[in-house]
Structure 1
Amino acid sequence: MNDLNAKKEEFVKQFEGLESTFSEIKMLMTYYECAILEVKTKLDVLNKEFQANELRNPIETIKTRIKSPASIMEKLERKGFELSIQSIKDNLDDVAGIRVICSFVDDIYKVADMLTNQDDIKILSKKDYIKNPKKNGYRSLHLVVEIPIFLSNEKKPMRVEVQIRTIAMDFWASLEHEIHYKKFSNSNVEAVKQLTECADVIYETDMKMLKIRKNLLDEED
């Protein structure tokens, strides 16, 4: 840990000592912020269109974030990548992140399809942790997309990680994150078992709520 802290300090000093380097990373973070704005705008538009067509919103909330410099450096080090600006561009897909919270499980896939079917969105990776949950029970749909941002004199392709989950899945993930923040270890077998059981109960509830909604819609027809 001390070695990692020393490398972080050295990395930061590089920015302090080289104005051009500091300016470059500041601009890179601005590009990521612009990419988030592009994706969020698309999601807002799709939500409004869905509201007009279906008389309801599939998206409850949209949360955005940019990784902090410390978090970026920690991940580069943990993955064994060089601590450099070029390494950030080449190796990290989640510097810019958007979390989309949906009402129902089927909304997750509808939103994902509506977003990725747009011709200026390129899917770089897709991980379905809903159909294939993680060992501790974590569920969410993860997409890494590439989207162009239009600057004053150029167009730049930028990567954004999009996580789409239900309200219930987000509730579980938030509490699980809090447990990890309190130094919980995955080596604690009993804790992992209990977390998985809670995640399974929450998913079962999600599916029951979806079934109720579908039954009510069938009655209306």
Structure 2
Amino acid sequence: MSITTYKPSRGDLERLSKFRAPYQQTIDELKVKLKGIKYGCLEQDCYSPIEFVVGRVKTVESLLKKAEKKGVQVGNGNWIEDIEQHVYDIAGLRVVTRYLEDIREVQQILCEREDFQVVEITDYIETPKESGYRSVHLVVRYPTYHGSQKKEVLCEIQLRTMSMNFWATNEHELRYKYDEKLPVEMKEQLRRAADTAYELDLQMAQFRREIRTSQEMRLEDTVANEDKLEEIFSLYVKKDFNRAAELYQTYFGRDHDFAYNPKLQMIDEMLNSRLLKKPVS
């Protein structure tokens, strides 16, 4: 029976409401856990691969449409129970990241969790949909206790960058507006836009690598300069002023700037002001 003609009875609506409840609980619990990953990473590394998390349980209307697409005979037999066997994204979460590398990091974190099990991974980044859609979809089996009853619920977690999410959100709204019948020209424009968004992700990933390389080089430089200043300071404390002044000139000369590091700047200013006044015999 097609959902275009079938109208759920009051009893069916009550059953669907009870059916959806554990899924809503799963969304609520997993959102807390995903946000826990975000804030835990921020505390540890001052950076989180997770930008934000959103979630939803399919509405009754959306659920029935999806069930019919999956071949469920809506309105016949144990059709509500059949929905659970055929529809895996009744509960859905979306994790949005800044960078492509963040998606892989979040994917690894989720696969290593012990409080739920990843049962399926579909990589639409490696193999985009014909529309241009890109994302990584994880189907997880999550045990939840609804009342006194334990129930294992399937939930789909989508991993997207911000640009992927921007494209997908707009594409979804356009498909809804055109009742899933997008004009051919618009489909092609959307596909090109998806490719452009992915190129932006790749460019941002390259910028990030360059920034990280620069930061790592600066960190190595800071550590090296700290060692040099400590060596000079040790000589200064021992009153070996000549050797300290020689090393200072050898290591730094007059063309250096430690303004980026207050600690180095303080030590440097102290040594500079004192050592350069000491004659080197």
Aligned pair partner of 2:215 in 198, 205, 220: 220
Aligned pair partner of 1:170 in 161, 165, 173: 165
How far 1:110 sits from its partner (Å)? 0.9
Ranges in structure 1 where 5+ consecutive residues have no aligned partner? none
The 2-side partners of 1:25 and 1:202 are apart by 38
Matches within 5 A, 1:52-67: 52-67=43-58
Corresponding position of 1:135: 130
Whether 2:38 is the aligned partner of 1:42: answer no
Cα contact 1:60–1:102 (8 A) shared by 2: yes
The 1-side partners of 2:2 and 2:149 are apart by 40
The 2-side partners of 1:121 and 1:32 are apart by 14
The 2-side partners of 1:39 and 1:187 are apart by 34
Cα contact 1:142–1:161 (8 A) shared by 2: yes
* Deviation sequence 1:143-189 (CA, Å, 0-9, x none): 11111112442321111111110110111111111221221766744
Whether 2:150 is the aligned partner of 1:179: answer no
Which amino acid counterpart does residue 76 of structure 1 have in structure 2? A
Corresponding position of 1:120: 115
Give the TM-score, by structure 1 length: 0.88
Matches within 5 A, 1:67-146: 67-83=58-74, 84-146=79-141
Whether 2:31 is the aligned partner of 1:32: answer no
Give the TM-score, by structure 2 length: 0.70
C-alpha change, 1:132 and 1:36, in structure 2 (3 Å) is same
Corresponding position of 2:4: 5
The 2-side partners of 1:200 and 1:219 are apart by 29
Percent identity between the aligned chains?
Answer: 32
Cα contact 2:175–2:182 (8 A) shared by 1: no
Aligned pair partner of 1:201 in 173, 196, 214: 196
Ranges in structure 2 where 5+ consecutive residues have no aligned partner? 217-281
Secondary structure, in 3 states, of the residue corresponding to 2:134?
Answer: coil
Higher relative contact order (CA 8 A, sep 6+): 1
Bigger mean CA offset, 162-171 vs 82-91: 82-91
Bigger mean CA offset, 167-176 vs 54-63: 54-63
Secondary structure, in 3 states, of the residue corresponding to 2:4?
Answer: helix
Cα contact 1:124–1:143 (8 A) shared by 2: yes
Cα contact 2:2–2:68 (8 A) shared by 1: no
Bigger mean CA offset, 21-30 vs 80-89: 21-30
In angstroms, what is the RMSD of aligned CA positions?
1.9
